[in-house]
Amino acid sequence: MGVNADSVLLTDLYQLTMLQAYHDQDMNDTAVFEFFARKLPEGRNFLVAAGLAQLVDYLEALRFDADELAWLAQCGRFSKAFVDSLANLRFTGDVQAMPEGTLFFPDEPILRIVAPLREAQLVETRIVNLLQFQTLISSKAARVRLAAPGRRLIDFGLRRAHGAEAGLLSARASFLAGFDGTSNVLAGVRWNIPLAGTMAHSFVLAHDSEVAAFEHFARSYPAACTLLIDTYDTEAAARAIVPLAHRLAREGIVIQAVRLDSGDLGEHARRVREILDAGGLPDIAIFASGNLDEYAVSALVAAGAPIGGFGVGTRMNTSADHPYLDCAYKMQEYRGIARRKHSEGKTTWPGRKQVFRRFDSAGLMAGDALTLEGNTQPGLPLLEPVMAAGRRLAPAPSLAEIRERLVAQLAGLSPAQRALTPAPPYSVEVCPALHDLARQVDQRRVAPVRPVVNGAGCG
């Protein structure tokens, strides 16, 4: 059997054991699950929804192939009748979601699945796996983008991303958050993300002379090359580039940039800038990398470091300060009855929810209302239909469209919320309709879902 990420067996065992129990009890009525974050990572002001495109691909392709069914049949846990029932299982449900690139806040669902119980349950693990990771990285990358206005930002993180898919998806997630490109070739192939790269220390080390390495690389890329200059002595390398660049220029060969990768990047950048400027090379840009994140980039920008672009890797692709989100995919309704759990510290809002976002006259975001579907509130509803009866309703938006959406969304944040420092929490009001339903659920433990009176005021 192939072991690839697309396998329906990329799930937790309990999804399958619960499905068998549902099968044994003939339970398969309509269930409603929603995905949301319980809270923001400490010190953060917003999250960026991402990963929906891969989620829709997954749901559309969901099926057990013959090898997978055979494995289940022989593993000793499942009855023949149950395994047979899986052969025709497809995802036939409806999906509502916030489009990728939407800003969101705690308790706001960014995804709702309405589907027969077994389908809605089976997909939990991969849904969380896909949504939490890209949301995590887009949310981090958006902060790097905000910290470096006008600078070129390149994803360099494949090598220390957590495996292959993390490397691929973080290239996508950082690009949709406004990065300019990635070093990850396969991500470029897959999503047409612009590729960028420089050279490694090993290229310099493989030559007996640093300047010979520079010349060889420039000759292979006469229109544009970036030379890594910190292998031995950064400023000495910059000084060596001055005569080399002039000599190569006479042959029409252009050195576009130099890269710094160690030491005090701001101080080296200033010295290298002076050397290049004094050498008549003001057009050679300085690119920096090495342990960067939004804080390091912001500090360099604030200090006026003459750095035109940054390669940001490990700390972004692992979301190193917050490597996971406190998020969940939870049942909100089954058989027309709203539900919620009461586990300590993890109580959730029941029912099918919608989020309405208000804007002030200047176009800034003025507060969200979390309410039940059908309880229309002022502002824009954020969850939109994405799939119906198991099929997507429209082609996925392009990454360019998602980027534009996020730029517009970030422009709607107040300056305090856009800053790297923690701002007072953005207002998310829970509407009376939702409070009422929660009370009903708590009183009876389960509560029938009744039509919500439209227009009941929130907050």
Interface with a second copy in residues 404-433 (CB under 8 A): none
Min separation Cβ 448 and a second copy, Å? 11
Least Å from the CB of residue 380 to a second copy:
30
Stretch of residues binding a second copy (CB under 8 A), selected from 180-188, 239-247, 353-361, 371-379: 180-188
Using CB under 8 A as the binding rule, whether residue 179 contacts a second copy is answered as no
Least distance CB 70 / a second copy (angstroms): 11
177, 48 contact by CB (below 8 A) = yes
Which residues 267-296 are close enough to bind a second copy by CB under 8 A?
A: none
47 or 382: CB nearest a second copy: 47
CB 373 within 8 A of CB 354: yes
In this structure, the dihedral spanned by the alpha carbons of residues 216, 221, 226 and 232, taken in order and rounded to 10 degrees, is -10
Q: Which one, 341 or 391, has the nearer CB to a second copy? A: 341
Residue 325 touching a second copy (CB under 8 A): yes
81 forms part of the interface with a second copy (CB under 8 A): no
Nearest distance, CB of residue 20 and a second copy, angstroms: 6
Cα distance between residue 333 and residue 336, in whole Å: 6
Q: Which is nearer to a second copy, 315 or 352 (CB)?
A: 315
Q: Say what angle helices 124-147 and 164-176 make with each other, to 10 degrees.
A: 50
Residues in the interface with a second copy (CB under 8 A) total 104
Q: How far apart are CA 124 and CA 122, in angstroms?
A: 6
Smaller CB separation from a second copy, 71 or 359: 71
Q: Does 252 bind a second copy (CB under 8 A)?
A: no
Give residues 34-63 in contact with a second copy (rule: CB under 8 A): none
Tokens of 258: 């130099």
Q: Does 73 bind a second copy (CB under 8 A)?
A: no
Among 106, 197, 308, 397, binds a second copy (CB under 8 A): 197
**DSSP string over 317-354:** HTTTTS-S--EEEEEEEETTEE-----TT-----S-EE
Q: What tokens appear for 373 in the block?
A: 């579907």
Segment interacting with a second copy (CB under 8 A) among 87-95, 106-114, 225-233, 372-380:
225-233
For position 20 contacting a second copy by CB under 8 A, the verdict is yes
Q: Which of 246, 391, 445, 450 binds a second copy (CB under 8 A)?
A: 445
Task: Check binding of 318 to a second copy (CB under 8 A).
Answer: yes
Q: How many residues does the chain have?
A: 459
In the shown chain, the binding pattern of residues 331 to 370 toward a second copy, with x for contact by CB under 8 A and - for none, equals: x--x--x-xxxxxxxx------------------------
Question: Per-residue string for binding with a second copy, 148-177, x by CB under 8 A?
Answer: --------x-xxxxxxxxxxxxx-------
Q: Does 104 bind a second copy (CB under 8 A)?
A: no
Helices (H), 192-313: 201-205, 210-220, 234-249, 265-278, 294-302
What residues contact residue 93 under an 8 Å CB cut-off, 6+ apart?
Answer: 59, 113, 114, 115, 116, 119, 120, 387, 389, 390
Name the DSSP letter for residue 160. G
104-112, 185-193, 301-309, 427-435 -> range binding a second copy (CB under 8 A)? 185-193
| Phi and psi at residue 457, to the nearest 5° | -65, 150
Calpha distance 247→281 (Å, rounded): 12
Closest CA to 260 of 293, 282, 227: 227
Show the site string, 110-149: x = touches a second copy by CB under 8 A, - = not. -------x---x--xxx-xxx-xx----------------
**CB burial string 376-407: b at 16+ within 10 A, e below:** ebebebbbeebbeebebeeebbebeebbebbe
Nearest distance from residue 203's CB to a second copy, in Å?
5
Distances (CA, A) of 235 to 141, 242, 292, 364: 31, 11, 21, 46
Find residue 353's DSSP bridge partners.
372
Q: Which is nearer to a second copy, 148 or 327 (CB)?
A: 327
Query: Given the complex with a second copy, which of 343 and 361 has the nearer CB atom?
Result: 343
